[in-house]
Amino acid sequence: MTETILTNAEIVREDEVLRGTLVIRGGEIAEISPGRSGAPGAIDCGGDHLIPGLIELHTDNLERHIEPRPRVDWPHMTAILAHDGELASAGITTVFDAMRVGSVISDGREDYRKYARELSRELFDLRGRGVLRISHFLHLRAEVCSETLLEELGEFGDEDRVGILSIMDHTPGQRQFRDVSKLRDYVLGKHGGNEADFEAHLDNLRGLQARFGAAHEAGAVDAARRLGAVLASHDDTTEAQVATSAGHGVRLAEFPTTEEAAGACHAHGIAVMMGAPNLIRGGSHSGNVAAQRLAEEDRLDILSSDYIPSSLMLGAFRLGDLWGDLPRGIRTVTAAPADATGLTDRGRLAEGLRADVVRVTRLAGTPVVRSVHAAGRQVG
């Protein structure tokens, strides 16, 4: 049985940092002990940190790889492998790959075509062949402002490992884009076009919400129950929206946009997830509440890399510095997302759990990944 001994390391456990030795054997953490090991072949970590493999609940990174530029469709196998390798190199050993379900087909838009069902099959095929480095689950982003949401959700079943289903409502003038000028900057900056094109886009989204919104929201809630997925809200802004989310059984709030909403989430027992890019940049690119502000108010539970995989590690250490508590910062990207999604076999450095272990050093305060083990196998 293959054995890896990592010694002379700062081992970041759930509530403490222990200078000692961690032994990986047979894909599990076999032993954690204080002190230095003198065993032959033991790897001297020189005081580097050992932390659990990071758990990513919401990333657009796979979509970025399959469509690296607007209307550029990249070969999916290459895209999946590149995405998988990039996450492994960032210390992420478990990912819930976010895929949009719900398309707009009546206006011929290429950027809102159906893709999730086929892409997930390709992902599962590669997983079955044993070529992926890390553990992959699905996160279905159910877009209310679409025409085909219910049909697309109906194509997924128990075998698809749908871990999270989030309800997305991108109706202009509320939630993420309360400020329509921010939406204008985003849409025209990403897709081009002119003011008339943008106004047509607004009219189309508002029309879709009016025609399908209520049925799609109810159908998404039902689908989460059928699939056994954690139900998440997205961009809650008001106490009323959070109350609706709680009534649906939401357990995870992705990127609440205001302090009011984040506070209401905690009042309802809903975990709050914020974007690490928001934390690192010092604010939201959409003009919404800053992640650091919520962290200072103890209203931030989980970090997501969102659209920059490397931000997850950096964000966790930033929070550790902000709180003066490194284990707490690391929990936002390990134990907390594991608990939110019912993953009891990972997210902590403890004997008997999966050997998802990352060795990290700090260079001028910045965390640098030195090695990554996923289920005991070195993948980075």
Let me know whether 82 and 192 are in one domain.
Answer: yes
Let me know whether 366 and 325 are in one domain.
Answer: no
Q: Mind listing the pLDDT tens digit of every residue in the chain (380 residues)?
A: 689 999 999 999 999 999 999 999 999 999 999 999 999 999 999 999 999 999 999 999 999 999 988 778 899 999 999 999 999 999 999 999 999 998 887 765 555 789 999 999 999 999 999 999 999 999 999 998 888 999 999 999 999 999 999 999 866 546 555 655 565 655 555 555 666 666 665 666 666 776 777 899 999 999 999 999 999 999 999 999 999 999 999 999 999 999 999 999 999 999 999 999 999 999 887 778 999 999 999 999 999 999 999 999 999 999 999 999 999 999 999 999 999 999 999 999 999 999 999 999 999 999 999 999 999 999 99
pLDDT score at 176 = 59
The partner residues of 366 in beta bridges, in order of sequence, read 363
Integer Cα distance of 79 and 143 in angstroms = 23
Q: Indicate which CATH number applies to the domain containing 19.
A: 2.30.40.10
pLDDT score at 187 = 55
Domains in the chain: how many in total? 2
Integer Cα distance of 314 and 316 in angstroms = 6
Let me know whether 245 and 379 are in one domain.
Answer: no
Integer Cα distance of 147 and 212 in angstroms = 7
pLDDT score at 206 = 67
Let me know whether 32 and 168 are in one domain.
Answer: no
pLDDT score at 110 = 57
Let me know whether 331 and 361 are in one domain.
Answer: no
* Closest C-alpha to 140, from 160, 170, 122: 160
pLDDT score at 173 = 46
Let me know whether 86 and 197 are in one domain.
Answer: yes
pLDDT score at 103 = 84
Q: Indicate which CATH number applies to the domain containing 309.
A: 3.20.20.140
Beta strands in the chain (DSSP E): 3-12, 17-25, 28-34, 43-44, 49-52, 54-59, 92-101, 135-143, 162-168, 230-234, 252-254, 271-275, 302-304, 357-363, 366-374, 377-378
pLDDT score at 271 = 98
Length of the chain: 380
Tell me the whole-structure pTM to 2 decimals: 0.91
Let me know whether 38 and 114 are in one domain.
Answer: no
Integer Cα distance of 141 and 126 in angstroms = 22
SS3 219: helix
Count H helices and E strands in the chain, helices first.
Answer: 13, 16
Structural domain range at position 366: 1-52+347-380
Cα end-to-end span (Å), the chain: 21
Let me know whether 4 and 28 are in one domain.
Answer: yes
pLDDT score at 183 = 57
* Closest C-alpha to 311, from 325, 288, 342, 332: 332
Let me know whether 105 and 251 are in one domain.
Answer: yes
Phi, psi at residue 9, to the nearest 5°? Answer: -125, 155
Let me know whether 18 and 131 are in one domain.
Answer: no
